[in-house]
Each structure stands twice: as C-alpha cells, then as structure tokens.
Amino acid sequence: MPIRGILQQFMPDPERLVIATRQSALALWQAEHVRERLLALYPSCRVEILGLTTQGDRRLDLPLADIGGKGLFIKELEQAMAEGRADLATHSLKDVPMELPSGFALAAILAREDARDAFVSNRYGRLAELPPGSVVGTSSLRREAQLRERYPQLEVQPLRGNVNTRLHRLDEGNQAAIILAAIGLKRLGFADRIASLLEPEDSLPAVGQGALALECRADRADVVAALAPLADRTTTLATAAERAFGRTLAGSCRTPLAAYAVARDGELWLRGLVASRDGRAVLRGERAARLATLHDAQALGEVLGAELLARGAAAVLAGAS
C-alpha cells in the first residue's frame, strides 16, 4: 500500500483545517472550491479560510519578473503555515516555483481543468485578425515570446493585476486584446469574454497551468493524509514531468518557458519550449513514455530538458534574462 494510503488508514479525520489563500477573487474561488471538497470528505471538520495579501499582490507597478518572481505570491502563505496559523495553502500550480522552500511540500494536485490560454477582445475574434501595430496585453513572458514569434507585427505590453482589473483595462481601450489563462475566466464566470481559445500548438501553456495545488508543511503527516484523497494521479504525473522539465532548465518568472503533458495512447506525451523574450530564438521538443511512478514522470521531464540544453537552450535562456 502507498505511504499516503497507510497514513490515511491510521490518521483520524481532521477536526479543523485552515486554508491560507491570496485574497484575489480567483484565489478565493479556488480556496472555497477546496473547502467544499474537504467538507464533502470530512463533514464534521471545521474548514476555515484565511485570506492574506502577498507582496506579489501589492506590487503591481512593475513586471513580476522584476520584483522577485512567482514566489512572491506564496511567501506570506508559507509564513502562515510555518507559524501554525494555517494548515494548508491553495495555489494555481503555475504560480508555484519549481523548487519549494525547505520544510514544505505539495501534498495534493487536483484534477487539471482547461490548460489553454484565452484570447480576449471586444473587437476581434482571433489573434490573426489583429491589424499590425495592435496592442496585446499579457503578464507572461511565456505568452509574450510566443506572440512575438508568431505575430511580430503586434505590440506586446505587460499587463498585471487580477482578472477583473485586466478586463477593466481592456474595456477602457488600453489594448486591442489581452491573453489570459482560460480557466481563470471560466472559474470567475467570465467564459463569455473569451473570443477564442489558443490551442497548445499555438500557445504552449505554462508549467502546471489549469491545475490546483495544495501545499502544507512537510512535517504535517496529518494534513498530508487528509489531503491525499483530493489528488488526481494523471494530473500529478503530468505536472511532475512539466515541473522537472522546468527545474532542469532552471525555469523562473524571468524565463520564457512552457511545458505541457497529456495522457495519450497509454503514454504521457510531454511538449516543452524555451524562448528569448523577443521570440527570435525558440526551441521546442517533445517526448513520450509509459509511466508507472512519479519518478518516471520526473525522469521524462529531465530527459526533455537535457535534450533542449544540448540543443542550445542555455544560450537562449541567457539572452532572455
């Protein structure tokens, strides 16, 4: 029996669980979704939400890559867990750094939903319809690089803030279009704002995009056991391969890097990409393997990462930073 199964067998049901989360509308939706899932598992448990403002939420004046990267969205949540004020934290997995701080672990990754990017515009239906010189807003260097590669005639500008803020800026006429994660729009009831979806062939998703991750202290065996039933095996393996690819390439918020793995014909098919920010240098690769364990998935990501390094990814990444 897996270690988690043994833990569940001998651990009593939790009496109280506190979920730390950012206070954006999307983060709160995700925390409430996890709360409902936990209450369904443990009806007698008191599941509470602790909303926190992170440094990443406070510093909206600069691109995220310039102020410390995605770790700024989880530092305060980890502090709350370290101090015993929270038992777990909910994250969009794409916002979780490739390397967690010592003493923390991803206890469960929930079933992935839509991992695609969404094209949002009030005037145009598809990216290809935008006239030359049109301004497209995005917060992601990954999206920016792929946009510049495919549509060098467009002007790409950084766009930060929560989903509502970005939609408001679009509605004010600041951009002709913006690119967002499709799942965030869908979760907040803005699916009707999506003009079209970008398939992975056109915009390869971020590592972990579309998946929710639950983090806790590594020494909290009780919390690990309580969260284990929420984990989805296929998503766990797919995102383990993606994150191993990112770690191999030292992926960070300053890195235009993408990876997306899906189950296909009994195998896990992993596609990866690294690029320069201007989109002039882009390396792509893919590999597939039959998987049995988490170690197999990580090995798949490491092999693809090593392959891109052998093809010159280090030079591309050096030029991107």
Q: Which residues are catalytic?
A: 95
List the Cα angle 92/243/189 in 5-degree steps.
25
List the Cα angle 111/34/269 in 5-degree steps.
15
Distances (CA, A) of 2 to 7, 225, 228, 229, 317: 9, 11, 11, 12, 39
Contacts 24+ apart (CB under 8 A), 159-164: 160/60, 160/63, 160/64, 161/60, 162/24, 162/25, 162/26, 163/24, 163/25, 163/26, 163/188, 163/190, 164/25, 164/188
Q: Which residues pair with 6 in a beta bridge?
A: none
Helix H or strand E encompassing 146: helix 141-150
Q: Do strands 16-22 and 88-92 pair parallel, antiparallel, or not at all (unpaired)? A: parallel
CA pair distance 72, 55, nearest whole angstrom: 6
Distances (CA, A) of 7 to 12, 205, 319: 9, 34, 47
Question: 21 by DSSP, 3-state: which?
Answer: strand
Q: How far is CA 155 from the centre of its chain?
A: 25
CA pair distance 60, 57, nearest whole angstrom: 7
Q: How far is CA 132 from the centre of its chain?
A: 30
How does DSSP assign 84-113, residue by residue?
Answer: TS-SEEEEEGGGS-SSPPTTEEEEEEPPP-
- Ramachandran quadrant class, 179 (left: phi over 0; alpha: psi -120 to 50; beta: rest): beta
